[in-house]
């Protein structure tokens, strides 16, 4: 269950279930509502001992229908519940309409036009009438345009009336206004934040891309996935179109202990050269730290040998810091070419601390000309700002570019603009779209860093390594962490791991190492945390 679905993929799964008679919309809606209520009671058990008052905001589609189910189920448990409908009851889709009617026998639904009035004079005070639970069932996967001004304003008022912490806020499927394909807010004007952030979001069947990308994690609070009884494997087996649709699904990064083992049946190698020889190219004096961090990452992740190639003027500085890592003199592209005459050097890392300019560009060209597996990071990328096509012309499928957002913007300014211009319709252009487009253009693997790291192959696999929710690792935002990541990927490339898999495993381990250390982490700690992580995942 590592896929992250788009709204369209989720709809295709539902539609297939309907077509095959495996479920009805009414059944799914009932299970969705039940899933939300169960998740609320499991996550916030204290709510059952409070005043048990719920406000449920229902939208004009099936997300609103789920809201009416939640209202009914809470009421049946003895809660006081009031629904607010944004839209007209007689225009609700059939299942939502049926649930509106079932609810209407039990309790009130206030029209959106009276919403603010009701909130202010009815349930909006902090007295006995104030809700302890606010359910956002306005929009889910069907959000196609920004929230209307009046709705955005009303939600901001609600945010002020019941500040976070006074009532629990739970979103059905998605916080309303969040594009579930991109995690980007679809809100009026140039605002970048959703009007109402949640304590918890309960989605159905699988997480969607929007839950982990961009603003998703911050807007959703915690996430839970309720099982609504869709047997994806069976549906996929029964329908070839669905197989095709889901074949392109983005997956989440996972650890793969077997790729990391040394020795044993599946990796009988015993000699250091069986695990490759990584080469990290260093900058000059005073700038060697980044390459040394990368080199240590490469060694700790299990490359058989690691060499730092440094200018003659930086050899003493490097030598005074390196022990298990070897050192080679490299005063520029021609020295690098000579070093690469040793065929055993099978994975290269260029960029960390290398300096921006023509010397770096020349070394990158030499590295690419050698057709070795290669990670290009930091200055190796920035050196091609304004001349990206000259880089792209030489890239190949065993190269991994590892830009952070600034470096990405320099290499792919038009793609970056699409990702950062305010989103005006759904599905909005996502970080997945941007990374896939960049990979296709560059003709190599692109790893776009962030708490929502996306790794894409040209026209192929896309993986997200999300450091959010229970895997949040804010301490990774520290100088040099990216250098260590580059080195870790290079080390795995040296070991012969398939490039996109190397990028996936390294980003997963990088986050895991950071989580293991916690507050106070510095980049130099990261490589030395790997052995403990390896033990934990059974390497
Ligand atoms: N399809 C199904 O069988 C199931 C759907 N479920 C729920 O249904 C949701 C999807 O339902 P829908 O496809 O009806 O979509 P939504 O309920 O998310 O919203 C669609 C409606 O909102 C309108 N709309 C979109 N953006 C708007 C905006 N900015 N302002 C005003 N109106 C806007 C659309 O025109 C449409 O009428 C899921 O997120 C989930 O909560 C669940 O009940 C599980 C089963
Ligand atoms: K919602």
**CATH code (residue 88):** 3.40.50.10260
225 lies in some domain? yes
Cα(137) to centroid(ligand 1), Å: 9
Same domain, 480 and 379: yes
394 lies in some domain? yes
Q: How many CB atoms lie within 10 A of CB 519?
A: 6
Specify the ligand 1 atom closest to the Cα of 180.
39
**Residue minimizing CA distance to atom 33 of ligand 1:** 143
**Residue minimizing CA distance to atom 16 of ligand 1:** 142
Specify the ligand 1 atom closest to the Cα of 144.
26
Same domain, 65 and 191: yes
Specify the ligand 1 atom closest to the Cα of 146.
29
- The angle at the Cα of 537, spanning 532 to 538, to the nearest 5 degrees, equals 95
Same domain, 238 and 278: no
User: Was 104 annotated as part of a binding site?
Assistant: no
Largest CA distance in the chain: 83
Q: Which residues of the chain carry a pLDDT beneath 70?
A: 1, 117-128, 190, 265-269
Q: Which residues have their alpha-adjacent CB atom under 5 A from ion ligand 2? A: 136, 171-172, 176
CA distance 61 to 47: 28
Same domain, 103 and 167: yes
The contacts of residue 292 (CB under 8 Å, 6+ apart) are 282, 308, 318, 321, 322, 325
User: Was 483 annotated as part of a binding site?
Assistant: yes
Same domain, 222 and 295: no
Cα(32) to centroid(ligand 1), Å: 13
Q: Which of 216, 251, 286 is the last residue of a domain?
A: 251
User: Was 362 annotated as part of a binding site?
Assistant: no
91 lies in some domain? yes
Cα(174) to centroid(ligand 2), Å: 4
327 lies in some domain? yes
Same domain, 200 and 303: no
User: Was 143 annotated as part of a binding site?
Assistant: yes
CA distances from 346 to 15, 156, 269, 323 (A): 48, 56, 16, 21
**Residue minimizing CA distance to atom 2 of ligand 1:** 25
Cα(63) to centroid(ligand 2), Å: 6
415 lies in some domain? no
Range of the domain at 401: 274-408+435-536
CA distance 289 to 423: 40
**Which residues are near ligand 1 (CB < 6 Å)?**
14, 25, 28-29, 32, 59-66, 93, 139-148, 172-173, 204, 228
User: Was 145 annotated as part of a binding site?
Assistant: yes
Alpha helices in 20-88, H assignment, sequence order: 25-43, 62-76
Cα(152) to centroid(ligand 2), Å: 13
Cα(528) to centroid(ligand 2), Å: 43
**Residue minimizing CA distance to atom 25 of ligand 1:** 143
Same domain, 7 and 79: yes
User: Was 453 annotated as part of a binding site?
Assistant: yes
94 lies in some domain? yes
Give the SS3 label for residue 81.
strand
User: Was 50 annotated as part of a binding site?
Assistant: no
Of 59, 146, 171, the one to substitute when testing ligand 1's pocket (max ligand atoms within 8 A of C-beta) is: 59
Overall domain count for the chain: 2
CA distance 290 to 351: 9
Q: Which of 189, 219, 251 is the last residue of a domain?
A: 251
Same domain, 206 and 59: yes
Q: Say what the pLDDT of residue 114 is.
A: 77
Same domain, 298 and 398: yes
Q: What letters, b where the CB count within 10 A reaches 16 and e where it falls short, cover 137-175?
A: bbbbbbbeebbeeebbebbbbbbebbeeeebbbbbbbbb
488 lies in some domain? yes
Residue whose structure tokens are 């994690």: 217
Q: Say what the pLDDT of residue 192 is.
A: 77
Q: Which of 251, 285, 304 is the last residue of a domain?
A: 251
* Half-sphere CA count of 72, side-chain side, radius 13 A: 21
- Pairing mode of beta strands 445-448, 399-401: parallel
Cα(48) to centroid(ligand 1), Å: 29
CA distance 450 to 405: 8
DSSP-assigned beta bridge partners for residue 327:
308
234 lies in some domain? yes
Question: pLDDT tens across 430-465, in order?
Answer: 999 999 999 999 999 999 999 999 999 998 899 999
User: DSSP labels for 122-141?
Assistant: II-SSSTT--SEEEEES-ST
Q: Say what the pLDDT of residue 163 is.
A: 83
Specify the ligand 1 atom closest to the Cα of 228.
44
CA distance 200 to 35: 13
Q: In what order do the strands lie in the sheet with 53-58?
A: 109-111, 80-85, 53-58, 133-137, 168-172, 200-204, 222-226
Same domain, 134 and 209: yes
Cα(399) to centroid(ligand 1), Å: 41
Same domain, 46 and 107: yes
DSSP 57: E
DSSP-assigned beta bridge partners for residue 374:
348, 399
Specify the ligand 1 atom closest to the Cα of 25.
3
369: domain CATH number is 3.40.1190.20
Same domain, 235 and 292: no
């Amino acid at each position: 269950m590592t896929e992250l679905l788009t709204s369209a993929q989720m709809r295709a799964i539902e539609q297939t279930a309907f077509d095959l008679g495996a479920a009805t919309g009414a059944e799914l809606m009932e299970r969705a509502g039940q899933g939300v209520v169960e998740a609320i009671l499991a996550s916030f058990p204290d709510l059952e001992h409070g005043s048990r008052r719920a406000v449920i905001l229902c939208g004009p589609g099936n997300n609103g229908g789920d809201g009416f189910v939640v209202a009914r189920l809470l009421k049946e448990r003895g809660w006081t519940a009031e629904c607010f409908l944004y839209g007209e009851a007689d225009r609700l889709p059939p299942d939502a309409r049926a649930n509106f009617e079932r609810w209407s026998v039990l309790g009130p639904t206030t029209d959106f036009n009276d919403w603010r009035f009701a909130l202010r004079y009815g349930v909006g005070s902090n007295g006995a009438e104030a809700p302890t639970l606010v359910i956002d069932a306005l929009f889910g996967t069907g959000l196609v345009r920004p929230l209307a001004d009046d709705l955005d304003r009303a939600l901001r008022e609600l945010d002020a009336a019941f500040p976070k912490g006074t009532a629990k806020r739970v979103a059905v499927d998605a916080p309303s206004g969040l594009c579930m394909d991109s995690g980007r807010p679809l809100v009026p004007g140039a605002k970048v934040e959703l009007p109402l952030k949640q304590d918890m979001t309960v989605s159905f069947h699988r997480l969607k891309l929007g839950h982990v990308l961009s603003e998703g994690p911050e807007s959703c609070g915690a996430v839970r996935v309720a099982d609504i009884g869709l047997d994806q494997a069976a549906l996929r087996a029964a329908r070839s179109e669905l197989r095709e649709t889901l074949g392109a699904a983005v997956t989440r990064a996972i650890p793969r202990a077997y790729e990391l083992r040394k020795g044993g049946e599946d990796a009988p190698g015993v000699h250091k050269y069986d695990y490759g020889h990584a080469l990290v190219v260093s900058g000059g004096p005073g700038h060697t730290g980044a390459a040394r961090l990368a080199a240590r990452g490469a060694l700790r992740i299990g490359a058989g040998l690691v060499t730092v190639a440094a200018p003659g003027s930086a050899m003493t500085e490097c030598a005074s810091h390196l022990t298990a890592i070897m050192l080679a003199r490299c005063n520029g592209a021609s020295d690098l070419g000579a070093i690469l005459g040793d065929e055993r050097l099978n994975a290269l890392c260029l960029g960390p601390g290398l300096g921006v300019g023509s010397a770096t560009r020349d070394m990158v060209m030499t590295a690419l000309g050698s057709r070795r597996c290669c990670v290009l990071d930091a200055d190796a990328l920035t050196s091609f700002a304004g001349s990206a096509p000259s880089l792209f012309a030489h890239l190949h499928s065993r190269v991994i570019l590892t830009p952070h957002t600034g470096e990405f913007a320099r290499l792919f300014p038009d793609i970056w603009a699409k990702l950062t211009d305010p989103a005006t319709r759904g599905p909005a252009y996502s970080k997945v779209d941007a990374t896939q487009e960049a990979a296709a253009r560059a003709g190599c693997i692109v790893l776009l860093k962030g708490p929502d790291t996306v790794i894409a192959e040209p026209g192929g696999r896309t993986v997200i390594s999300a450091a959010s929710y229970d895997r949040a690792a804010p301490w990774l935002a520290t100088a040099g962490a990216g250098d260590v990541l580059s080195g870790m990927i290079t080390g795995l490339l040296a070991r012969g791991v398939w490039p996109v898999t190397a990028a996936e495993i390294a980003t997963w381990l990088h986050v895991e190492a950071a989580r293991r250390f916690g507050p106070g982490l510095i980049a130099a700690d990261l490589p030395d945390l790997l052995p403990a992580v390896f033990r934990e995942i059974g390497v």
